[in-house]
Amino acid sequence: MPPSVIRPLRLFGRLLAATAAVVGLVALFLTLIVATDGAGSGFVAWSATVGVAVFAALWRGRRRPWRGQLMPFLPVLVAMALALSVCVPTVPTTRRHPPGLSFVTAEHWSLSTGSRVAVYHYPPTGNSPRQRVPLVYLNGGPVRGISLLDHRFLQRLAGQGYDVYAYEQAGGGRSDLLPMNQYSITRSVHDLGAFVGKLGKGPADVLGFSSGGVVLTRALADPAIAAHLRRAVIAEPGPMDGPTARMAEQKGRPSARDIAPAVTGPRSTHVPRYAVAFGLMRLGLLSPDTGLVGQAEGDNAFTAADLGSDTASAYCARDAHRIPVEDTAENFSFSAAASLRIQQTIKDSPSIAPQLRRSRTPAMLMIAECSSQARPWQTTLLADNPAVQRTQYMPGVGHHMWNGLGDNDQRAAATITAFLQDEPAPLPDYPTRADIPAFLRDHK
Question: Could you tell me if 75 and 138 lie in one domain?
Answer: no
Question: Could you tell me if 318 and 380 lie in one domain?
Answer: yes
Query: Which of 87, 118, 133 is the C-terminal boundary of a domain?
Result: 87
Question: Could you tell me if 149 and 235 lie in one domain?
Answer: yes
> For residue 244, which of 390, 443, 378, 442 has the smallest C-alpha distance?
378
Q: How far apart are CA 281 and CA 340, in angstroms?
A: 8
Residue 117 near residue 146, CB atoms below 8 Å: no
Residue 224: what pLDDT?
96
Q: How far apart are CA 355 and CA 85, in angstroms?
A: 49
> For residue 238, which of 293, 188, 276 has the smallest C-alpha distance?
188
Residue 253: what pLDDT?
87
Question: Could you tell me if 77 and 111 lie in one domain?
Answer: no
Q: How far apart are CA 70 and CA 58, in angstroms?
A: 9
* Residue at 152 is within a domain: yes
* Residue at 290 is within a domain: no
Domain enclosing residue 239, as ranges:
107-260+307-441
For residue 150, what are the contacts with CB-CB under 8 A and spacing of at least 6?
A: 137, 139, 166, 209, 402
Task: Compute the chain's Rg from CA coordinates.
Answer: 26
Q: How far apart are CA 337 and CA 143, in angstroms?
A: 9
Angle at the Cα of 47 (from 46 to 53), degrees rounded to 5?
85
Residue 376 near residue 250, CB atoms below 8 Å: yes
The beta-carbon contacts of 26-32 under 8 Å, at least 24 apart in sequence, are 26/79, 26/82, 26/83, 28/52, 29/79, 29/83, 29/86, 30/276, 30/280
Number of independent structural domains in the chain: 2
Q: How far apart are CA 261 and CA 37, in angstroms?
A: 35
Beta-bridge partners for 165: 121, 136
- 3-state SS assignment for residue 204: strand
Question: Could you tell me if 45 and 147 lie in one domain?
Answer: no
Beta-bridge partners for 391: 365
Cβ-based burial of 134 (10 A; exposed 0-12, middle 13-18, buried ≥19) = buried
* Residue at 93 is within a domain: no
Q: How far apart are CA 310 and CA 128, in angstroms?
A: 36
For residue 284, what are the contacts with CB-CB under 8 A and spacing of at least 6?
A: none
Q: How far apart are CA 342 and CA 36, in angstroms?
A: 23
Residue 95 near residue 296, CB atoms below 8 Å: yes
* Residue at 298 is within a domain: no
Question: Could you tell me if 14 and 76 lie in one domain?
Answer: yes
* Residue at 350 is within a domain: yes
CA distances from 402 to 42, 118, 195 (A): 42, 22, 24
For 408, phi then psi, to 5°, come to: -60, -40
Question: Could you tell me if 18 and 116 lie in one domain?
Answer: no
For 391, phi then psi, to 5°, come to: -120, 135
Residue 121 near residue 104, CB atoms below 8 Å: yes
Question: Could you tell me if 240 and 377 lie in one domain?
Answer: yes
Residue 313 near residue 288, CB atoms below 8 Å: no
Question: Could you tell me if 136 and 76 lie in one domain?
Answer: no
* Residue at 255 is within a domain: yes
Amino acid found at 305: A
Question: Could you tell me if 115 and 77 lie in one domain?
Answer: no
* Cβ count near 432 (within 10 Å): 13
Residue 26: what pLDDT?
87
* Residue at 296 is within a domain: no
Q: How far apart are CA 400 and CA 167, in angstroms?
A: 18
Query: Which of 35, 54, 87 is the C-terminal boundary of a domain?
Result: 87
* Residue at 22 is within a domain: yes
3-state helix, strand, coil in the chain (%, to 5): 45, 15, 40
Q: Are strands 388-398 and 363-370 parallel, antiparallel or unpaired?
A: parallel
Q: What is the pTM of this model?
A: 0.92
Helices and strands: H and E segment counts in the chain:
17, 8
Question: Could you tell me if 14 and 163 lie in one domain?
Answer: no
Residue 443: what pLDDT?
81
Query: Which of 87, 116, 135 is the C-terminal boundary of a domain?
Result: 87
Q: What is the CATH number of the domain that holds 115?
A: 3.40.50.1820
Residue numbers in the chain where pLDDT is lower than 70:
1-18, 57, 59-73
Residue 308: what pLDDT?
72
Residue 12: what pLDDT?
52
Beta-bridge partners for 107: 119
CA distances from 32 to 28, 45, 372, 444 (A): 6, 5, 36, 46
Question: Could you tell me if 178 and 68 lie in one domain?
Answer: no
Residue 301: what pLDDT?
95
Q: How far apart are CA 436 and CA 444, in angstroms?
A: 10
